[in-house]
Amino acid sequence: MAAWATSLGVQMTNSRNRYLLLGISLMLGGALFAIAAYAVIGYMPLVALGVASVILGAISFFLGRTVPGVSVEAGQALFEAGLDNIASLVEELGLRSRAIYLPTSLTNGVPRALIPLHGNPASPTVGQRLEQRLIVRFGPGPEDRGILVATPGSAVLASLDLKGVSTDTDLEGALSAAIVGGLDLANRVTVLGTDENRTVEIFRPTLKLRHHPVYQVLGSPLASIVATLTAEIVGRPVSIVAEEAGKRGRHTVQIRLYDEVKA
Amino acid sequence: MTLYNRYVATLAVLFTSTTVVLAVYNQQRLDLYFSLYLIEYLASTLLFVYLKPRARRLLNMMGYVLFGGFTVVVAMRMGQILGLPGLR
């Protein structure tokens, strides 16, 4: 157990240390190289190369200070444990409906996904703010009950600053900032379509996870992040219609936006 | 390749290419190298729009420091042109 914890601890700090170590090495090595090149042979291109190394080292050092302490591998291990718990719940309740991702305006400030207990309604009418409970009533009908669960996207949304991103014209930029910049999970994100149905293309995703049964309900982690962010930005419930891992590292997620609802 | 790796690799390639090209033309002026490094740094940082806000803040600080160095280089060059003592 202790060995496992130590190994995990080393993994958690590895990626961060890589940039810091590289930065310190380049700064020290570059400075020594530049001084030696100037003092011994007085050849300016080599001195300039030393200066370039110092600049690169400083950049790497600064970047290392912004890398989170958790490595991708450790994050995946923790993440899959969380998914297993949700999968057990979904399986036990026999749920087959697609989750509906709700904006925080409908969930008392905490991003959640609603999994209807009795199949997907054509157009969910969430008439009030949902309580922070596991089983909630989301409409007037007797079958309008579902469970509220946290999703991978919920955790991501909490760590992002979406101030100033309020219209869906910013959607592509916001998704790119979150998936490419904030999480570093892909190279590029594009959004196609303007009305109820949108297609989000994610290029070269780096998150490689084994297929999980709960993906049929919640969608893959990438799709979940896309749906959560979209719901929050446009202020409307969103569900994942389909997703496909295409050729050349292109992951396509089709989402549907439901009508705007007033809480 | 992660975003940070791409950013660092891009700068490494640009700096090395600049050094090699200027060395081929036998340039011995350190201020010229430094000025080009600064331009490449600023352009690359601008093009990598999706860097994290904290990383961007730190890199902006770094840009100020480099720009300060550039200002010193320019001041020294102006001093040389104006023939100030000690800068010849």
Distance (Å, whole) CA B29 – CA A42: 12
Share of chain B above pLDDT 70, in %: 97
Which pLDDT value is given to residue A16?
60
Which pLDDT value is given to residue A212?
77
CB pairs A-B closer than 8 Å: 82
For residue A262, pLDDT over 60 is answered with no
Which pLDDT value is given to residue B24?
95
Number of residues assigned to chain B = 88
Compute the average pLDDT of residues A169-186.
Answer: 80
Give A55-89 pLDDT, tens digit per residue.
999 999 999 888 877 676 777 777 778 878 888 88
Of A48, A63, A206, the CB nearest to B33: A48
DSSP H or E run through A251: strand A250-257
Residue spans of the domains in chain A: they are 2-64, 72-257
Compute the average pLDDT of residues A39-52.
Answer: 93
Of A44, A49, A62, the CB nearest to B62: A62
Whether B54 and chain A come into contact, CB under 8 Å, resolves to yes
Which pLDDT value is given to residue A122?
59
Residue spans of the domains in chain B: they are 3-82
Distance (Å, whole) CA A222 – CA A245: 11
Residue bearing the bigger pLDDT, B67 or A134 = B67
Q: Which residues of B touch A184 (CB under 8 A)?
A: 2-4
CB atoms within 10 A of CB A77: 13
Q: Please judge whether A181 and B50 are an interchain contact, meaning their C-beta atoms are less than 8 angstroms apart.
A: yes
Give A193-221 pLDDT, tens digit per residue.
877 888 899 988 887 767 777 788 888 88
Q: Which residues of B touch A14 (CB under 8 A)?
A: none
- Identify whether the C-beta of residue A222 lies closer than 8 Å to the C-beta of residue A244: no
Strand order in the sheet with A135-137: A135-137, A145-149, A112-116, A100-102, A238-245, A250-257, A197-203, A188-192
Q: Show the tokens assigned to A69.
A: 């302490």
| B19 band by pLDDT with thresholds 50, 70 and 90 | very high
DSSP H or E run through A69: none
Distance (Å, whole) CA B46 – CA A263: 40
Q: Please judge whether A44 and B27 are an interchain contact, meaning their C-beta atoms are less than 8 angstroms apart.
A: yes
Which pLDDT value is given to residue A59?
94
Closest-approach residue (CA) in chain A for B66: A55
Distance (Å, whole) CA B5 – CA A41: 33
Which pLDDT value is given to residue A260?
58
Q: Show the tokens assigned to B76.
A: 């020294």
